[in-house]
């Protein structure tokens, strides 16, 4: 009740109290004064795990702490945490709104919390909650300050909400796994960065249509594809030019046997600082600044100094911040510096008041203020007992995101290179045993053996050891493998709200369990290997593990070799024993509808 009362006071009932006290309603004269908020001056209109602004003359950072479900208020002038706000979900991004409030995307709650400062040393006050599609992960404000744009991962949607009343104005279907969004200065286009679906896409906000994400990479050849674009930065004065720190991948020719995962001719994973021309749409020529491959592994957050045109990129897998000269975004950008910081650099913001970058090292729970000489001054984040990962799982997470660790791979890949966010890259890799699709891990590993597409590994640890051998790593000791496994089983599943089944979905559920379809015969969570005549000419084994169908709608493509791009194409295919000839189109539609609910 206290929260409801605070919300009512903060939403404007204080003006009514004043009227009553003037003589119309003396019975309410003893009510408390309305809570007064202190507006936040915004520095940026794109969200990040770091939101910077000015509050009562002080430069403040609001840090989204996904591990502990909190927002930390950091006084950057004094370099100390001054407040902590507990949330009802895991925050991925924060953004200071034109109203002077703070919007926070709560990925597991399917909502955006709107918070206000009442006292800079106190917890923030929640004034509103905006329901969104499943898993809001990125925020951006329109240049006219009228619309809050929210990109959702599992929901695959870009939604626009009015700034004042938070009414949904638009809902636009996106590609798979969006992770970043920014709006052009004329408000006509949105640019979306994807984690596992082609790099960057353009959304026409006038027609409300999204172009398929697919960047043509100049100089890398047709085998290179873009993956893991977690950050987009607009170039001042060149509004349709974007900088996109991107992981590029060459998974190899699937039907060509390799001695590891990916092409044997070149390193499968490379960093690229892409320059995207948003005016021409996707599929046309773009120019890319090619950095040294090992300089930035797993690029995540990025921010630009608009005066010097210096770009800072958080390199999660390298525990470094890479600084690039981005004065001319068309030719190759120059790497200026590389600064090592604490574990887990995942977000960067630029403070225009003091002309400095602020970096979040999420794993080490540190915020770094970067001085003009590129020295990183750390600020510790508070810890609430009982929250966050266990010591063993936290150590396993560091291993999961650790690149350039020759115990894991010989070519600089981390586990997260193929399993970003513990999910999958949507690719099919050339391997020693034939084509293998990357599988989604999150929410699927807390189960009995076996593991692996062949279904022959008796434990998660044994499967990981074989994977490292295929990556030509020298191998982790058993204690480290145990820590890595401890982290993997804690990976939260893709958040999706449970909803009652529609009549069509209920029909699909009954079909799934029936002998008519035969689905439940293999997918009964017994995790056995089956031969359904799906082996390719290069597969050394003919039987494959029937994988978990949990979150199957979010893990395309399908079959071990990724031959089917959609659930519909898989159900209707005639090239294996998976076919159920007696199912008509209505039945297939119902079955597909049910599978999307799992």
Asked if pLDDT for residue 266 goes beyond 70, the answer is: no
Asked if the structure places residue 533 within a domain, the reply is yes
Q: Is the model's pLDDT at 293 over the cut of 60?
A: no
pLDDT digits (tens, 9 = 90+) for 526-535: 677 777 777 7
pLDDT tens digits for 498-523?
889 999 999 989 988 888 877 877 77
Mean predicted lDDT score pLDDT of the chain: 84
Whether 460 and 516 map to the same domain: the answer is no
Is the pLDDT assigned to residue 291 strictly greater than 70?
A: no
| Cα separation values, 434 from 115, 373, 473, 539, 556, Å | 52, 50, 20, 5, 19
Residue at a domain's end among 488, 519, 534:
488
Claim to verify: residue 483 and residue 508 sit in the same structural domain: no
**Cβ–Cβ under 8 Å, residues 360 and 315:** no
**What is the pLDDT at residue 62?**
98
Residue 581 in this model has a pLDDT that exceeds 80: no
Instruction: List, for residues 16-63, the tens digit of each pLDDT value.
Output: 322 322 333 344 456 556 678 889 999 999 999 999 999 999 999 999
516 with 480, same domain?
Answer: no
Residue 527 maps to a domain: yes
Regarding whether 545 and 511 lie in a shared domain, the answer is yes
* CA gap 290, 286 in Å, rounded: 12
How confident is residue 285, by pLDDT bands cut at 50, 70 and 90?
very low
Is the residue at 34 inside a domain? Answer: no
pLDDT, tens digit (0-9, with 9 covering 90-100), for 458-499: 888 889 998 998 888 999 999 999 999 999 999 998 888 888
pLDDT at 243 over 90: no
User: For the chain, how many residues are written?
Assistant: 598
Residues 6+ apart with CB under 8 A from 81: 72, 73, 74, 75, 379, 380, 381, 382
Higher pLDDT, 545 or 460: 460
In tens, the pLDDT along 109-134 reads 999 999 999 999 999 999 999 999 99
* Structure confidence by residue, pLDDT tens digits, 89-111: 999 999 999 999 999 999 999 99
Task: Please say which residue of 461, 488, 515 terminates a domain.
Answer: 488
Q: Do 398 and 480 fall within a single domain?
A: yes
pLDDT digits (tens, 9 = 90+) for 193-220: 999 877 888 899 998 887 766 555 444 4
Evaluate whether residue 589 is within a structural domain.
yes
Q: Which residue has the higher pLDDT, 501 or 451?
A: 501
d(CA 281, CA 584): 39
Does residue 85 lie within any of the structural domains?
no
> What share of the chain in percent tops pLDDT 70?
85
Higher pLDDT, 5 or 383: 383
pLDDT mean over 386-412: 94
Write out the residue range of the structural domain in which residue 428 sits: 392-488
The pLDDT value recorded for residue 28 is: 43
Note the pLDDT tens digit of each residue in 550-580. Answer: 888 888 888 888 888 888 888 888 777 776 6
Please state the rounded mean pLDDT for residues 316-339. Answer: 80
Residue 175, C-beta contacts closer than 8 angstroms, at least 6 positions apart: 156, 192, 194, 197, 198, 201, 210, 212, 213
- Residue 466's φ and ψ, nearest 5 degrees, are -65, -40
User: Which of the pair, 282 or 16, is modelled with greater confidence?
Assistant: 282
What is the CATH classification number for the domain harbouring 537?
A: 1.10.760.10
Contacts of residue 483, Cβ cutoff 8 Å, sequence gap at least 6: 392, 393, 395, 396, 399
Residues paired with residue 52 on neighbouring β-strands, in sequence order: 61
Domain assignment of residue 520, yes or no: yes
Q: Which of 462, 488, 514 is the last residue of a domain?
A: 488
pLDDT in tens, 331-363: 455 778 889 999 999 999 999 999 999 999 999
Number of domains forming the structure of the chain:
2
pLDDT of residue 214: 57
The answer on pLDDT for 159 being more than 70 is yes
Q: What percent of the chain is modeled with pLDDT above 90?
A: 48
């Amino acid at each position: 009740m206290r929260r409801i009362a605070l919300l009512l006071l903060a939403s404007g009932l204080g003006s009514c109290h004043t009227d009553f006290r003037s003589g119309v309603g003396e019975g309410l004269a003893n009510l408390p004064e309305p809570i007064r908020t202190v507006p936040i001056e915004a520095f940026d209109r794109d969200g990040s795990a770091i939101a910077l602004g000015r509050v009562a003359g002080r430069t403040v950072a609001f840090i989204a702490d996904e591990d502990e479900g909190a927002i930390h208020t950091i006084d950057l002038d004094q370099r100390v945490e001054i407040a902590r706000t507990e949330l009802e979900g895991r925050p991925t991004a924060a953004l200071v709104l034109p109203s002077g409030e703070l919007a926070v995307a709560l990925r597991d709650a399917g909502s955006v919390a709107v918070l206000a400062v009442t006292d800079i040393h106190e917890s923030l006050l929640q004034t509103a909650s905006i329901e969104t599609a499943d898993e809001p992960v990125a925020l951006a404000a329109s240049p006219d300050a009228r619309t809050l744009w929210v990109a959702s991962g599992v929901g695959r949607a870009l939604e626009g909400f009015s700034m004042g009343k938070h009414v949904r104005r638009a809902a636009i279907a996106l590609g798979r796994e969006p992770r970043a969004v920014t709006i052009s200065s004329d408000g006509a286009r949105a640019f979306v960065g994807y984690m596992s679906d082609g790099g960057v896409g353009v959304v026409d906000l006038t027609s409300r249509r999204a172009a398929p994400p697919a960047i043509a990479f100049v100089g890398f050849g047709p085998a290179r594809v873009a993956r893991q674009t977690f950050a987009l930065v607009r170039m001042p004065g060149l509004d349709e030019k974007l900088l996109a720190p991107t992981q590029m991948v060459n998974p190899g020719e699937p039907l060509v046997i390799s001695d590891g995962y990916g092409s044997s001719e070149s390193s499968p994973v490379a960093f690229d600082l892409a320059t995207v021309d948003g005016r021409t749409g996707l599929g046309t020529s773009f120019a890319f600044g090619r950095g040294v491959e090992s300089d930035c592994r797993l690029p995540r957050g990025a921010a630009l100094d608009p005066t010097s045109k210096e770009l800072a990129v958080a390199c999660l897998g390298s525990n470094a911040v890479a600084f690039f000269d981005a004065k001319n975004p068309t030719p190759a950008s120059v790497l200026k510096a590389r600064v090592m910081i604490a574990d887990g650099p995942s977000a960067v913001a630029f403070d225009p008041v003091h002309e400095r970058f602020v970096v979040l090292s999420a794993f080490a729970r540190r915020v770094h203020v970067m001085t003009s000489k590129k020295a990183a001054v750390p600020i510790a984040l508070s810890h609430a007992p009982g929250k966050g990962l266990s010591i063993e799982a936290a150590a396993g997470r560091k291993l999961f995101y650790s690149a350039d660790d020759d115990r894991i791979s010989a070519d600089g890949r981390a586990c997260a290179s193929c399993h970003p966010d513990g999910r999958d890259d949507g690719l099919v890799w050339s391997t020693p045993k034939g084509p293998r699709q990357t599988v989604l891990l999150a929410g699927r590993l807390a189960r009995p053996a076996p593991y692996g597409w062949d279904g022959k590994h008796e434990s998660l640890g044994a499967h990981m050891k074989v994977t490292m051998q295929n990556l030509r790593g020298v191998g982790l000791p058993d204690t480290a493998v145990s820590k890595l496994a401890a982290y993997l089983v804690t990976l939260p599943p893709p958040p999706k709200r449970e909803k009652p089944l529609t009549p069509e979905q209920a029909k699909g559920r009954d079909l799934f369990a029936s002998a008519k379809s035969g689905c439940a015969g293999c997918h009964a969570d017994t995790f056995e290997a089956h031969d359904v005549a799906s082996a390719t000419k290069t597969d050394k084994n003919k039987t494959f593990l029937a994988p978990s169908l949990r979150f199957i709608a979010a893990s395309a493509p399908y079959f071990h070799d990724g031959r089917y791009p959609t659930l519909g194409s898989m159900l209707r295919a005639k090239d294996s024993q998976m076919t159920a000839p007696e199912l008509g189109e209505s039945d297939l539609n119902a079955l597909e509808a049910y599978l999307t609910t799992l």
